[in-house]
Homo-oligomer: A and B are copies of this chain.
Amino acid sequence: MSVHLGPNQYGKAETRLVRVVRDGDRHDLTDLNVSVALAGDLSGTHLTGDNAAVLPTDTQKNTVYAFAREHGVGEIEAFGLLLARHFVDSQPTIHRAQVRIEQYGWRRLGPHSFERDGREVRTARVRYDGQGAEVVSGLTDLVLLNSTDSEFHGYLKDRYTTLQETSDRILATAVTAQWRHTGDGSDWAESYAESRRILVETFAGTYSYALQQTLFAMGQKVLEARPELAEVRLSMPNKHHFLVDLDPFGLDNPNEVYFAADRPYGLIEGSVVRDGATPAQEDMWHF
């Protein structure tokens, strides 16, 4: 045979776990979406359908629920580490586990009543290979907008350039951010809360000449404030808001009435890295 099995992994994706912790009449709620991907000695199942090395994805799902009862959940990075270590350490055929968790926020309405807050989704990705663990925290769908303090000019112009330079535009984006920890023992709750706060405040507080500049500033400020982090990766679509031409109707439009477009959109992706940081393990950023 002239072909061979390349990189591969398998697991149970999107196990929806809601956990209620009761302290008398007062309840706390945790709402997660947990995905597991395992790699290891999996040539048998691929080449001949021999599943002797395969822990079923159904078992992975069961483990998520059982661990929520046995160990609690706590911060999602910690829960991810617990799961990833379990799969690798308990099964000799499994050499690497990745666990990805999304957490949905709820706002308290009463002792046991809640409203989905609908803001960004908090995320964590954990990778464990039997020796070391790598933890990436993050968020997605954080939608931010500055209605001024954004310019865009001085760019390259070629035959296909028609864009007009502007010294005042709306800058809007939906932030997906991931920040990699140097170790596996950060104060996850504080690290998340502060990183999120800094991202938001830096977006709002940066006078911008390019979305790239805003992106870099956001990552830089997080790294400067959070010594536990090695790298921040940001993916920020430029959600275009086009000024509507009201001239045909005898009306001016002093940066007041905009069309919010869907597609196409700019997409700015970049990372900010601490000098001297250990590089990420292979595959860390994608799953």
Give residues in A with beta carbon < 8 Å to B: 1-22, 27, 29, 31, 35, 37, 42, 45-59, 61-63, 65-66, 68-70, 90-91, 93, 106, 109-110, 112-120, 141-149, 152-163, 170, 200-201, 203-205, 208-210, 212-213, 215-216, 219-220, 223-224, 231, 233, 237-238, 241, 244, 246, 248-249, 251-253, 255-275, 285-286
Contacts and interface: CB of A to CB of B under 8 A. Distances in A.
Contacts of A237: 13
B268 A10 contact: yes
Given A4-B273, A59-B161, A265 B13 contact: yes
A269 B10 contact: yes
A214 B238 CA distance: 38
A287 B90 CA distance: 34
Contacts of A35: 264, 267
Contact of A37 (B170, B267, B271): B267
Contact of A20 (B3, B155, B252, B255): B255
Given A4-B273, A57-B238, 12 more contacts: A1-B220, A16-B264, A20-B258, A21-B256, A37-B267, A51-B156, A55-B161, A57-B264, A65-B244, A69-B253, A109-B144, A109-B204
B258 A18 contact: yes
A262 B14 CA distance: 9
A257 B69 contact: yes
A42 B269 CA distance: 12
A42 B152 CA distance: 15
A124 B230 CA distance: 34
B90 A51 contact: no
Given A66-B160, A91-B158, A264 B15 contact: yes
B246 A147 contact: no
Closest 7 A/B residue pairs (Cβ)? A49-B209, A118-B118, A8-B270, A6-B271, A113-B204, A116-B143, A49-B213
B51 A152 contact: yes
Contacts of A231: 6
B248 A12 contact: no
B112 A14 contact: no
A251 B70 contact: yes
A257 B57 contact: no
A63 B160 contact: yes
